[in-house]
């Protein structure tokens, strides 16, 4: 577990990620990160957008369903 400290940044609050945490998350200055709330009330900080994953699952299902049509259209 890595302990983070909340700091004032202008009129907002921010967190500073230690270098080792940023390296493990593969994020650099300016990269977006997402704070998601779990059903139990806990939070997860991740560089991956969970909504994008849901959209990609829907898109992949549509591509599987219409595979032959998409193949014909690509010619």
Separation of alpha carbons 73 and 34, rounded Å? 36
Residue-level pLDDT at 1: 81
Q: Mean per-residue pLDDT for 57-73?
A: 88
Predicted confidence band of residue 75 (pLDDT cuts 50, 70, 90): confident
Domain membership flag for residue 13: yes
Q: For residue range 10-54, what is the model confidence (pLDDT) as tens digits?
A: 999 999 899 999 999 999 998 989 888 889 999 988 887 777 778
The per-residue pLDDT for 44 is: 87
Enclosing domain of residue 35: 6-73
Q: Looking at the domain assignment, is residue 22 inside a domain? A: yes
Q: What is the pLDDT of residue 13?
A: 94
Q: Is residue 1 in some structural domain?
A: no
The domain tally of the chain equals 1
pLDDT of residue 70: 87
């Amino acid at each position: 577990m890595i302990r983070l400290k909340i700091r004032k940044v202008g009129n907002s609050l921010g967190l500073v990620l230690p270098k080792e945490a940023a390296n493990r998350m593969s994020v650099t200055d300016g990269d977006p990160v997402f704070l998601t709330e779990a059903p139990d009330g806990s939070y997860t900080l991740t560089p991956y957008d969970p909504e994008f994953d849901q959209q990609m699952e829907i898109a992949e299902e549509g591509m599987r369903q219409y595979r032959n049509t998409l193949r014909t259209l690509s010619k």
